């Protein structure tokens, strides 16, 4: 049995003030309306940026030395991790996304996604020169959008569609859904009950191996103090390197 496919990632990249966030908004709005569960990831360039606010209680917790601060409000739960992300891979970033996510949309991270052929890219551009540069840097590009006009883009005579995300957001959604829809449907239709992920790589498990692994794990867990096992629980076990 083939491994469960990874959660599809869609990248929105482009120059500053070229319309990346507008494109992300359109994708989130359109895909959510179609019933997909969307997670977004935003790259923030300011080295000293923090989502926390100085002098608030959560800030004081972190300032005192807490490496993880969880803030719980009536309609929101926020986890703030004080970690060095400068060496993070895309897998390091996206593994923080919830299990019930259908698609992850990342804004930015151009160096991490540039030549990753598994990640379809929507490129926002201000000029035709930026389109030409993107064609050299990014693969695969499924659509261009942004501040550049369709008239200007048409002069380049490229096969990649140029979409006005303000006037025709549905077209952009259709292009993206064509790429990610089959993957999402395969994930939703999967009958796999055991998934083994090693450093972001899914291992293929046939039905017999899944059954044996599941029974062995539930057998071990049922002997632990405080554990009550019915056999239909969702269990997550994380094994980390001693280093």
DSSP-derived secondary structure for 185-241: HHHHH-------EETTEEPP--HHHHHHHHHHHHHHHHTSTT----S----------
Residue 60 covered by a domain: no
Residue 141's nearest CA partner among 158, 165, 166, 126 is 158
User: What confidence category does residue 149 fall into, taking pLDDT thresholds of 50, 70 and 90?
Assistant: confident
Residue 101 covered by a domain: yes
Looking at residue 25, which CATH number applies to its domain?
3.40.50.300
Q: What angle do CA 152, 153, 154 make, to 5 degrees?
A: 90
Residue 77 covered by a domain: no
Is the pLDDT reported for residue 136 higher than 60?
yes
Residue 68 covered by a domain: no
Is the pLDDT reported for residue 230 higher than 90?
no
User: What confidence category does residue 1 fall into, taking pLDDT thresholds of 50, 70 and 90?
Assistant: very low
Global pTM reads 0.78
Residue 169 covered by a domain: yes
- Count of domains forming the chain: 1
Residue 209 covered by a domain: no
Residue 174 covered by a domain: yes
When pLDDT is averaged across residues 222-243 and rounded to a whole number, the result is 78
Residue 125 covered by a domain: yes
Is the pLDDT reported for residue 160 higher than 60?
yes
Range of the domain at 172: 9-49+85-189
User: What confidence category does residue 161 fall into, taking pLDDT thresholds of 50, 70 and 90?
Assistant: very high
């Amino acid at each position: 049995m083939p491994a469960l496919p990874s959660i599809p990632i869609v990248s929105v990249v482009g120059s500053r003030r070229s319309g990346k966030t507008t494109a992300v908004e359109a994708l989130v709005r359109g895909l959510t309306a179609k019933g997909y569960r969307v997670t977004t990831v935003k790259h923030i360039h300011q080295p000293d940026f923090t989502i926390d606010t100085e002098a608030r209680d959560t800030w004081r917790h972190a300032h005192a030395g807490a490496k993880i601060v969880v803030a719980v409000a009536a309609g929101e739960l926020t986890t703030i991790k004080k970690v060095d992300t400068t060496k993070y891979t895309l897998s390091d970033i996206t593994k923080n996304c919830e299990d019930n996510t259908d698609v992850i949309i990342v804004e930015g991270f151009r160096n991490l996604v540039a030549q990753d052929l598994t990640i379809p890219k929507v490129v926002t551009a201000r000029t035709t020169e930026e389109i030409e540069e993107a064609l050299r840097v990014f693969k695969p590009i499924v659509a261009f959008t942004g501040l550049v006009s369709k008239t200007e883009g048409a002069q380049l005579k490229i096969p990649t569609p140029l979409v006005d995300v303000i006037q025709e957001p549905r077209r952009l959604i259709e292009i993206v859904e064509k790429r990610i829809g089959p993957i999402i449907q395969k994930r939703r239709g999967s009958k796999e009950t055991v998934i083994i992920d090693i450093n972001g790589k899914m291992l293929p498990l046939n039905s017999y191996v899944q059954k044996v692994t599941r029974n062995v794990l539930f057998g071990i867990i049922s002997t632990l103090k405080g554990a009550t096992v019915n056999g239909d629980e969702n269990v997550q076990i994380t094994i980390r390197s001693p280093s």
